[in-house]
């Protein structure tokens, strides 16, 4: 029986992080983490309390992430960290206080570039009643806010960043990491989920002001959940816009999903088959909305959950 | 005596194009065809005309002109609807995408 | 009584052929016929050229004889033989969501006659009202809308398009010329497009990249172009980003 992060003794956890033996199990992945405990520990305890974890690796770990100083001087003088996922990435060193950002970015890079078991699509995914809704948008397109809003309405959060599409079943797998919030979305999500679910704001990062929102314990309980996708949405937030849904030709939806996938070209034929299979079984829409409330109403309408 | 340019034009006019139907997988969505081309592992987005051209060339080699006639017949279009120049454009785009290739001279001679 | 069944196969085949011809015209105009899936600006452009939008609610367009237009969703009652309800016209214009100046709408969409106030007597008339979209302005179709819609295919977009001046012949007036100042043939044409109608602007593109609008949806395109000229992509005119993306593609 694995313990959860909150069950672990913080001194032991601190030591395991420094030693690089801390193992976090989330969704289909096991992550081996090493990093500066002073800033990383509060993030892990605050954002991943219900996640299964261990202080020593007892199985194969698929993702290995180290947050390390870019050079020896930066371990001591104005300490900095860089995410090292085990392969070269052009990451800008960050002040050590931004370790949570380095950690989340590092995990994203690992999933995006190293995963071969799933088609990874840059998209948020929520699920309810055994069916999933995928939301694919460019960075800043409002998918995290929309995912948070739907999560606040009782949808399980599978991910706000990556849809993990199973190559055989074409179902999506849950990977419920914290919701990544930027700038204006922070107060909105604080309002939606409650201030206690949102981390302190990390200011002046390369992405501006950022914060993270903890997913509900129920979503983490469905850690290994998977679901078929019934609705694929391409959200587009435009301040003041009237809510609007446009049905997309499935071929156009596939074109957009391929562009949003980080490993489609790498996987080739199995990825093509999985995406085609998913899209054929789903409805595809581009949606435009001017407020978060509108977006939830629109999605529920399209999902057949709300009044039409 | 024909110029080099005329020679190239004349050669282009008689080029036969071919494709291997086993090399692609396709799905149709509302008259739009998604084609996964196995040799390049690339995915292409073809409309009814370019996919029709690919299928015809895949079933038997064709020049631009024979392909044009086959497309007019296949889709019940008039020459006004579908000018030869558009078929030439389609062939060029299919060639650039690697989906079709010219029949080799050896094959033509044999 | 059984209704004459529609022939959806024929309609859909005809539609398919029309779509194909349209695509060939776009191909002749330079639209690529083969796309390779890579994230590229060109794909975005192509996608935008093929964009469509769905009207989130019913749209009514009122056009006067000078080509000015008012766009809104309020009711507009029309009574055979007497004309439009003056109060409705006034309220519609005062509460219009969008107003377009004279000259915006081409003559083919304008009423044949300009306003004529011929009424000077009070009248206790008992004629039937065509209460178009009566009630609270909900999305339910009025009886007239439904009637006008019935011969069309089930997915037909345009509900009704009629011009008061055109529809009202002299013959219709013969027995009901009693005037009521509330009901006057004041020379307006009204067009209605139902909620959830999909409009694909590229359907109205001609061979040379010009516009060939027709029907109520064509009028909506005309107004969209006028809106785009004034406001570009800003504001909340439904579908404006789609229209502007096409204008950008065409280099207009």
DSSP code per residue over chain A: -PEEGGGS-HHHHHHHHHHT-EEEEETTEEEEEE--HHHHHHHHHHH-TTSEEESS--S--SEEEEEE-SSGGGGTSS-EEEEE-SS---PPPEEGGGHHHHHHHHHHHHHHHH--SEEEEE-EEEEETTEEEEE---TTSSHHHHHHHHHHTT-EEEESSEEEEETTT-PEEP--PPEEEETTHHHHHHHHH-GGGBPPPEEEETTEEEEEEPPPHHHHHTTT-EE-EEEEEEEEE-TTPPPEEEEPPHHHHHHHHHHHBSSHHHH-HHHHHHHHHHHHTSEEEEEEESSHHHHHHHHHHHHTSS--
At residue C55, the pLDDT reads 83
Instruction: Tell whether C87 is covered by a domain.
Output: yes
A181: nearest Cα among A208, A204, A158:
A208
Q: Which two tokens stand for residue A184?
A: 């204006």
Closest chain C C-alpha to A274 CA, distance in angstroms = 16
Last residue of a domain, one of C143, C167, C193: C193
- Contact between A268 and B32 using a beta-carbon 8 Å cutoff: no
Same domain, C165 and C205: no
pLDDT at C162: 20
Does one domain contain both C182 and C203? no
Out of A23-27, A63-67, A121-125, C41-45, least confident range: C41-45
Does the beta-carbon distance from C24 to B77 stay under 8 Å? yes
Tell me whether B49 touches chain C (CB under 8 Å): yes
pLDDT value at A170 more than 70: yes
The predicted structure's pLDDT at residue A1: 55
Whether C104 and C209 map to the same domain: the answer is no
Per the prediction, chain C carries an average pLDDT of: 66
The answer to whether C53 contacts A246, with C-beta atoms less than 8 Å apart, is yes
> Does B84 contact C at CB distance below 8 Å?
no
C161 and C220 housed in the same domain: no
Residues 6+ apart with CB under 8 A from C46: C31, C32, C35
Q: Are residues C66 and C111 in the same domain?
A: yes
The CA-based angle C236-C155-C44, given to 5 degrees, is 50
Which are the contacts of A2, defined by CB distance < 8 A and separation ≥ 6? A25, A52, A53, A54
Do residue C182 and residue C82 come from a single domain? yes
Taking alpha carbons only, the member of B56, B23, B58, B28 closest to residue B40 is B23
Are C68 and C103 contained in the same domain?
Answer: yes
Lowest mean pLDDT among A53-67, A166-180, C3-17: C3-17
More confident residue, A234 or C201: A234
Inter-helix orientation angle C240-250/C41-49, to 10°: 120
Q: Rounded mean pLDDT of chain A?
A: 87
Residue contact A272–B25, C-beta within 8 A: yes
Distance CA C236, CA C179 (A): 40
State the pLDDT at residue C250.
61
Residue C4 within any structural domain of the chain: no
C-alpha closest to that of B82 among B95, B69, B92, B63: B69
pLDDT at A109: 85
Name, in order, each residue with C-beta under 8 angstroms of C70's C-beta and a sequence gap of 6 or more: C61, C62, C92, C93, C96, C98, C99, C100
C118 pLDDT higher than 60: no
3-state helix, strand, coil in chain C (%, to 5): 35, 15, 50
Check B90 against C34: CB less than 8 A apart. yes
What integer is the mean pLDDT of A10-17? 91
Do residues A176 and A27 touch, judged by C-beta distance below 8 A?
yes
Flag whether pLDDT at A208 surpasses 60. Answer: yes
**Same domain membership, residue C233 and residue C138:** no
User: Does the interface ipTM go beyond 0.95?
Assistant: no
Does residue B27 sit at the A interface (CB-CB below 8 Å)? yes
User: Rounded to an integer, what distance in angstroms lies between the CA atom of residue C243 and that of residue C236?
Assistant: 13
Query: How confident is the model over A39-90, as pLDDT tens digits?
Result: 899 999 999 998 999 998 777 888 888 887 777 666 667 778 888 888 776 6
In the prediction, which pLDDT does C243 show? 79
In this structure, are C181 and C207 located in the same domain? no
Best to test chain A binding among B25, B26, B34, B42 (most A CBs inside 10 Å)? B34
Task: Give the pLDDT of residue A123.
Answer: 93
Q: Which is nearest to C157 in space by CA: C228, C244, C215, C113?
A: C215
Give the residue-averaged pLDDT of A298-304. Answer: 91
List, in sequence order, every residue forming a beta bridge with B20; answer none if it has no partner: none
- With a cut of 70, say whether residue C47 has pLDDT above it: no
Q: Higher model confidence: residue A286 or residue C40?
A: A286
Most confident of A97-111, C118-132, C235-249: A97-111
Residue B92 near chain C (CB below 8 Å)? no
End of a domain among C193, C225, C241? C193
Q: Which residues pair with A127 in a beta bridge?
A: A132, A156
Gap from A105 CA to chain C (nearest CA, Å): 22
CB contact set of A287 (below 8 Å; sequence gap of 6+): A233, A234, A235, A236, A243, A244, A245, A246, A295, A298, A299, A302
User: For residue C136, is it within any domain?
Assistant: yes
Segment among A172-181, A226-235, A284-293, C155-164 with least mean pLDDT:
C155-164
- Nearest Cα residue to C11 out of C214, C212, C154: C154
CB of B40 less than 8 A from some CB of A: no
Domain architecture of chain A: domains with CATH? 3-114 (no CATH), 118-303 (3.40.50)
The answer for residues whose C-beta is within 8 angstroms of residue A302's C-beta and 6 or more apart is A231, A233, A245, A283, A285, A287
Residue length, chain C? 252
**Helical segments of B15-75, H only:** 48-59, 64-74
Band of residue C196 on the pLDDT scale cut at 50, 70, 90: confident
Task: Please identify among residues 261-300 of chain A the ones whose CB lies closer than 8 Å to any CB of chain B.
Answer: 264-265, 268-269, 272-273, 276, 280
Residue C71 included in any domain: yes
Cβ–Cβ of A258/B43 closer than 8 Å?
A: yes
Bridge partners for A220 per DSSP: none
Higher pLDDT, A71 or C208: A71
Best to test chain A binding among C41, C42, C48, C54 (most A CBs inside 10 Å): C54
B42 touches chain C (CB under 8 A): yes
Burial of A73 (0-12, 13-18, 19+ CB in 10 A): exposed
Task: Using a CB–CB cutoff of 8 Å, tell me whether B43 touches chain A.
Answer: yes
User: Residue A191 has what pLDDT?
Assistant: 92
pLDDT for the residue numbered A211: 92
Q: Looking at residue A212, what is its pLDDT?
A: 93
Give B3's pLDDT tier (boundaries 50, 70, 90). low
Mutate to test the interface with B, among C18, C29, C33 (most CBs of B within 10 A): C33
Contacts A276 to B, Cβ<8 Å: 27, 34
pLDDT on residue A91? 64
In chain B, pLDDT over 90 holds for what percent of residues? Answer: 67
Is it the case that residue C235 has pLDDT exceeding 70? no
For residue C234, the enclosing domain spans: 40-56+198-252
Confidence at residue C252, expressed as pLDDT on a 0 to 100 scale? 39
C30 located within any domain? no
Contact across the interface for A259 and C38, Cβ inside 8 Å: yes
Angle between helices A250-260 and A269-280 (to 10 degrees): 140
Say whether B25 and A269 touch across the interface (CB within 8 A): yes
Provide, as residue numbers in chain A, all residues whose Cβ is less than 8 Å from the Cβ of C37: 254-255, 258-259
Residue C117 lies in a domain: yes
- Set out the domains of chain B in order of their start, with CATH numbers: 14-103 (3.90.930.60)
* Range of weakest confidence among A175-179, A248-252, B26-30, C151-155: C151-155
| Residue B56 pLDDT > 80 | yes
C137 plus C65 within the same structural domain: yes
Band (pLDDT 50/70/90 cuts) for residue C157 is: very low
pLDDT in tens, C169-188: 333 333 334 455 677 766 88
Choosing from C147, C171, C193, the residue where a domain stops is C193
| pLDDT (mean) for A302-308 | 64
pLDDT at residue C138 tops 80:
no
pLDDT band at B107 (very low <50, low <70, confident <90, very high): low
Of B95, B47, B100, B101, whose CA–CA distance to B75 is shortest?
Answer: B47
Residue C91 within any structural domain of the chain = yes
Number of domains in chain C: 2
Does residue C34 fall inside a structural domain? no
Exposed/middle/buried for residue C4 (C-beta within 10 Å: 0-12, 13-18, 19+): exposed
Indicate if the pLDDT at residue C151 is higher than 70. Answer: no
Least confident of A72-76, A254-258, A302-306, C223-227: A72-76
| Angle at C112 (CA atoms; ends C106, C114), nearest 5 degrees | 100
Give the per-residue pLDDT at B108.
54
Residues C131 and C231 in one domain: no
pLDDT above 80 for A118: yes
In angstroms, what separates the C-alpha of B5 from chain C's closest C-alpha? Answer: 25
Q: Is A132 left (phi over 0), alpha (psi -120 to 50) or beta?
A: beta
CB neighbours of residue C126 within 10 Å: 7
Q: Are residues C169 and C216 in the same domain?
A: no
Task: Say yes or no for a CB contact (<8 Å) between C236 and A244.
Answer: no
Contact B29 A251 (CB under 8 A): yes
Please name the chains neighbouring B, where neighbouring means 3+ C-beta pairs under 8 angstroms: A, C
Q: Is residue A12 scored above 60 in pLDDT?
A: yes
């Amino acid at each position: 029986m694995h313990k959860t992060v909150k069950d672990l003794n913080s001194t032991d956890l601190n030591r395991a992080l420094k030693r690089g033996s801390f193992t976090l199990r989330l969704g289909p992945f096991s992550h081996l983490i090493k990093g500066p405990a002073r800033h990383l520990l509060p993030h892990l305890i605050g954002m991943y309390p219900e996640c299964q974890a261990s202080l020593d690796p007892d199985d194969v770990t698929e993702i290995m992430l180290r947050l390390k100083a870019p050079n020896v001087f930066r371990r001591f003088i104005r300490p900095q960290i860089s995410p090292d996922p085990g392969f070269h990435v052009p990451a800008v060193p960050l002040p050590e206080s931004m370790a949570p950002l380095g950690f989340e970015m590092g995990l994203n890079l690992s999933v995006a570039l190293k995963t071969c078991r799933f088609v990874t699509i840059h998209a948020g995914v929520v699920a309810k009643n055994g069916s999933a809704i995928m939301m694919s948008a460019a960075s800043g397109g409002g998918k995290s806010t929309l995912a948070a809003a739907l999560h606040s309405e009782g949808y399980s959060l599978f991910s706000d960043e990556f849809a993990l599409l199973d190559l055989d079943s074409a179902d999506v797998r849950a990977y419920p990491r914290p919701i990544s919030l930027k700038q204006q979305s922070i107060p909105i999500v604080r309002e939606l989920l409650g201030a206690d679910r949102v981390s302190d704001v990390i200011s002046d990062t390369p992405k501006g002001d950022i914060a993270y929102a903890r997913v509900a314990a129920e979503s983490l309980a469905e850690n290994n959940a998977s679901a078929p996708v019934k609705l694929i949405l391409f959200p587009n937030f435009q301040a003041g816009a009237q809510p609007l849904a446009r049905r997309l030709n499935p071929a156009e939806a596939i074109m957009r999903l391929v562009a949003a996938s980080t490993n489609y070209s790498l996987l080739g034929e199995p990825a093509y088959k999985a995406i085609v299979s998913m899209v054929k079984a789903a409805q595809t829409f581009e949606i435009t909305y001017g407020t978060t409330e509108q977006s939830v109403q629109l999605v529920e309408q399209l999902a057949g959950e709300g009044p039409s | 005596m024909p110029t080099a340019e005329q020679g190239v034009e004349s050669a282009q006019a008689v080029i036969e194009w071919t494709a291997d139907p086993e090399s692609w997988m396709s799905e149709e969505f509302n008259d739009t065809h998604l084609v996964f081309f196995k040799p390049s592992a690339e995915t292409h987005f073809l409309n009814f005309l370019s996919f029709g051209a690919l299928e015809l060339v895949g079933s038997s080699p064709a020049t631009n002109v024979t392909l044009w006639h086959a497309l007019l017949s296949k889709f019940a279009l008039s020459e006004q609807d579908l000018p030869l120049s558009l078929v030439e454009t389609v062939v060029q785009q299919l060639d650039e995408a690697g989906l079709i290739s010219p029949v080799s001279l050896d094959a033509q001679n044999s | 009584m059984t209704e004459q069944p529609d022939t959806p196969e024929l309609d859909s085949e005809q539609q398919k052929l029309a779509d194909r011809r349209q695509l060939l015209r776009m191909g002749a105009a330079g639209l690529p016929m083969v796309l390779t899936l890579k994230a590229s600006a060109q794909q975005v452009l192509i996608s935008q050229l093929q964009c469509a939008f769905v009207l989130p609610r019913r749209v009514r367009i009122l056009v006067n004889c000078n080509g000015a237009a008012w766009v809104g969703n309020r009711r507009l009652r029309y009574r055979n033989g007497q004309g439009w309800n003056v109060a409705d016209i006034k309220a519609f214009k005062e509460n219009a969501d969008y107003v377009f100046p004279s000259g915006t709408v081409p003559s083919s969409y304008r009423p044949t006659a300009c306003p004529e106030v011929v009424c000077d007597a009070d009248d206790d008339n008992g004629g039937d009202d065509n209460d178009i979209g009566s009630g609270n302005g909900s999305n339910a179709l009025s009886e007239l809308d439904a009637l006008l819609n019935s011969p069309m295919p089930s997915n037909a977009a345009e509900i009704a398009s009629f011009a008061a001046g055109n529809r009202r012949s002299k013959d219709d007036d013969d027995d009901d010329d009693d005037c009521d100042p509330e009901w006057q043939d004041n020379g307006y044409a009204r067009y209605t497009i139902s909620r959830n109608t999909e409009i694909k602007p590229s359907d109205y593109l001609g061979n040379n990249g010009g516009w060939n609008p027709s029907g109520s949806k064509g009028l909506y395109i005309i107004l969209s172009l006028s809106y785009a000229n004034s406001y570009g992509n800003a504001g909340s005119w439904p579908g404006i980003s789609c229209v502007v993306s096409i204008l950008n593609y065409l280099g207009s």
